[in-house]
Chains A and B, each alone.
Chain A
Amino acid sequence: KAGVTQTPRYLIKTRGQQVTLSCSPISGHRSVSWYQQTPGQGLQFLFEYFSETQRNKGNFPGRFSGRQFSNSRSEMNVSTLELGDSALYLCASSSGAGGQETQYFGPGTRLLVL
């Protein structure tokens, strides 16, 4: 099976712009989670979608939003970008939503906000 893919791999934006990141999960996986990884804060949970419904949400401002499509592909949107949004954004997919399933991570999208 193909792994989790994320596009684009690299992005450069300026403050105030918005950005959309895409994640394609492993075939058959219905859960997609998003994480922000920074040197200072480490890996922080953004949100999880399962069968097109947001099941969990981390402690991030409303500028961060997401959605999941019927084919389980997911997008994450960040509006009004700030310098502090520069990070590696990782998505992970799993077959279930119970917390015990293995999370399969994509390579990430590295976002730089200038």
Chain B
Amino acid sequence: AQSVTQLDSQVPVFEEAPVELRCNYSSSVSVYLFWYVQYPNQGLQLLLKYLSGSTLVKGINGFEAEFNKSQTSFHLRKPSVHISDTAEYFCAVSDPRTGNQFYFGTGTSLTVIP
């Protein structure tokens, strides 16, 4: 089975500052990697995903993530955050062998301070 570790449960950051949310995964096979965002009282929305190819992936709302195979990491970054980025962020992996069975990290609560 796969496992996903999000190293920071809460990240406060000032508006317009950069942010990095960390994600490490454990797998002996190649996996697909995802970042989702959840706003209060809503479901999850895809920010970006890595399937193959270029290790730098760009997503919606100015977010990007870099896949590092040697460190089994998939950290999410944004150069300048806005108040509206305040939300819960989840890193997830799926194994091509088991299809849509996703394994999620425990989430990182990002709070943007005005």
Contacts and interface: CB of A to CB of B under 8 A. Distances in A.
Given A99-B95, A100-B32, A100-B94, A107 B42 contact: yes
B11 interface: no
B44 A105 contact: yes
Interface in A42-95: 42-45, 48, 50, 55-56, 58, 90, 92, 94
Contacts of A26: none
Interface in B32-52: 32, 34, 36, 41-46, 49, 51
Contact of B32 (A4, A99, A105): A99
Interface in A32-48: 33, 35, 42-45, 48
B100 A99 contact: yes
B43 A105 contact: yes
Interface centre among A35, A56, A100 (most CB of B within 10 A): A100
Nearest to A101: B100
Contact of A56 (B32, B43, B92, B99): B99
Nearest to B94: A99
Interface residues of A, number: 28
A27 interface: no
Contacts of B101: 33, 45, 48, 56, 58, 99
A97 B97 CA distance: 10
A25 interface: no
6 contacts: A35-B102, A45-B102, A56-B98, A99-B98, A100-B49, A103-B44
Interface string A5-20: 0000000000000000
A50 B45 CA distance: 21
A97 B105 contact: no
A94 B100 contact: yes
Given A4-B43, A102-B49, A33 B102 contact: yes
Contact of B99 (A55, A92, A106, A107): A55
